[in-house]
Amino acid sequence: MIKKKVFLLIPSGVALRNFAFTDFYALAKSRNLNIVFWNGTPFELSNLGYEEVKLKNIKIHWFTDILKNVRKEVELNLNIENNKDYVYNAYKFKRKNNSFKAFLKNSIIGVLAYFLKSNRGLSYLKNKINTLEVSTDYYKHCLETLAKEKPDFVFCANQRIINAVAPLLAAKEMNIPTAAFIFSWDNLPKATLVVDSDYYFVWSLFMKQEMEKYYPLINQNNIISTGTPQFESHFNENILVSKQEFYKTYRLDFSKDYICFSGDDITTSPDDPKYLRDLANAITTLNNKGFSLGIILRKCPVDFSNRFDGVISEFDDLIIEIAPKWSNVNNSWNTILPTKADTILLSNTIKHSLFVVNIGSSMVFDYAALNKPCCYFRYNQKTQENPSWDINKIYNYVHFRSMPDKAVVYFNSSSDIEAKIKGVLDDNSQTVEKANLWFDVICQSPQNQSSNRIIEAIETIISER
C-alpha cells in the first residue's frame, strides 16, 4: 500500500506539544501515513528524528496584520450584538499608543472596525486577507513546496497563527484537502480563527456546537470532534516513575506530600507570587498542626521571569521549584519549544502530587486525567501589581460556563485556604467526579484516544477525495 503523505503545518513552537511529543506521530506511521512536519519555527525538528520541510520566506503582507486585528475586533463586536453579552469585550487587548507608528496603526484598526462592523464587513475582511496573502512571495514559496512534495493532506496544528494563512491557501489552490486544529479550549469565543480550511478538528461536541454558533457559514459536517492529544501522556503508565525516583531526582522531602502550584503567565496573573505566598502561609499553619505538606512550583512554561524568587527564598523549606523543560530561543513567546522531556515531567508531577492550585488554568483537566482535584484562587490581592486587573474577569470568560458546580474547590480569600485544603485532603471524591464530568464535556472521551480519532478523520478525508 502506498503511504499517504500528510504535511503537518507547525506555524508556532507550542503546537509541537500535541503532535511531536505524544503518540500521534508513531500511531500515524503505523497506520501508513507519512507525517512530514511543514516547519514554520526556528527549531530543527530533523534533530529529533522527524522528517521536516522548512517553511521559507515567512513574511505576511504588511497590511494583513492590521486586518487580522480588525477582523478580531469586528467578530467580538458582532458577538456582543448577537448574544447581548458584553463579556466579549474582555477578549480585546488594550492597544498601546507608545509611538507614532503604533498610534497610526491603532487608529486605522479602530476606524476600519467601526465601518466594517457587519457580517458583510467581516466577509470582506476575510477575503481581503486572503487576497493580500496570495500576492506575497511567501505564498509563492508555499505553492512551489507543495508542487514539489505533493502531499495528500495539509493539517494545520494551530488555527490562530497568521503565518498559517498562506500555506493553507496554497494547498487550496493545489486542490489538496486541508484541516485546522483548534488549539485550545478557550479559543473560539476569543475570535482567534484566522485560517480558512476545508475541515476543522475540535476537542469535543461542545466545541463543535461553539464552532457552529460563532461560524455558522462553516458546513457543520466539516467540523469534526476528535479530542486533543495534549492529555494523552497522562494515561501512559510507561513514562511514570516511582515516587522514590521522582522525589530523589527533584530533591523532595520524603516525609512530605506535595501540592502543585501551577503558575500562569504574567499577563493572566500578575500577582501569582502573592498567591503562592498565601498558599505557603496556609501550609505552614497546617504543618504546625501536624500535617507534613510541601509545594511544588511549576511556573508557566513561557514565564522565564524571576518574579517568584523572593517567595521561594522566604519559604525555602517548603517550596521546591520544578521548572518546565521548555527550550527558550530568544525570549519570545512564539520561539519557545515544548519538549518530550517536559511532557514526561508534567505527567510525573501530577502522579506524585496531591492536587493542583492555580488561577483558572486548564491544568484542572491534566489532574482530572489522573483522578486528582484542582483548586482555583478566586480573590483579588489587597495590593496589586496591576491595579486594573481583576481575577473575576477570568472566571467570567465564556469557557467557564461549561463548568459543573463543584468541579473545582475555590479559595475565596487567603484565610479560606487552610480549611479548604483540609477539606480536599479529607475527601475530594465529589470534586474529582465533577472535574471528570467537565473534562468529558471539554475533551471527547476516552481522552487517550484523541490521536487515533484525528488519524481516522484524516484517513477518511483522504479516501473520499
What lies within 8 Å, CB to CB, of 4 at 6+ separation is 32, 33, 34, 152, 153, 459, 462
Q: Which of 210, 161, 233, 227 is nearest to 15 (CA)?
A: 161
Q: What is the pLDDT of residue 326?
A: 84
Maximum Cα interatomic distance, the chain, rounded to a whole number of Å = 70
Q: What is the mean pLDDT of each run of 10 residues along the chain (465 residues)?
A: 91 88 92 95 86 94 96 97 95 85 91 96 97 97 98 97 97 98 96 97 98 96 97 96 98 98 92 98 98 97 91 97 83 69 96 97 97 97 91 95 96 97 90 97 97 97 91
Tell me the C-alpha distance between 377 and 282, whole Å: 13
Q: What is the pLDDT of residue 113?
A: 95
**What's the pTM?**
0.95
32-52 burial, b at 16+ Cβ within 10 Å, e below that, comes to ebebbbbbbbebebeebebeb
Domains within the chain, CATH numbers bracketed:
4-60+136-228+447-464 (3.40.50.2000), 64-131 (no CATH), 237-442 (3.40.50.2000)
Q: What is the pLDDT of residue 440?
A: 98
Q: What is the pLDDT of residue 335?
A: 63
At residue 272, what is the residue type?
A: D
Q: What is the pLDDT of residue 301?
A: 87
Cα angle 358, 363, 369; round to 5:
135
Q: What is the pLDDT of residue 423?
A: 95
Tell me the C-alpha distance between 58 and 440, whole Å: 38
Paired with 259 in beta bridges are: 295
C-alpha radius of gyration, the chain, whole number: 23
Answer whether 28's CB lies under 8 Å from 58's CB: no
Helix axes 119-134, 64-83, angle to 10 degrees: 160
Whether omega for the bond prior to residue 229 falls within 30 degrees of 0, making it cis, is no
Tell me the C-alpha distance between 25 and 33, whole Å: 9
Q: What is the pLDDT of residue 418?
A: 97
Answer whether 294's CB lies under 8 Å from 257's CB: yes
Tell me the C-alpha distance between 145 and 173, whole Å: 13
Answer whether 302's CB lies under 8 Å from 333's CB: yes
Task: Name the grid cell of 431.
Answer: 470534586
Kindly write down the DSSP assignment for every residue of 69-96, as one continuous string. Answer: HHHHHHHHHHHHHHHT-GGGGGGPPPPP
Tell me the C-alpha distance between 42 and 334, whole Å: 10
What lies within 8 Å, CB to CB, of 12 at 6+ separation is 40, 41, 158, 161, 334
Q: Which residue has the cell 503567565?
A: 265
Q: How many CA atoms lie within 13 A of 56 on its CB side?
A: 9
In 189-275, DSSP assigns E strands to: 199-202, 223-225, 257-262
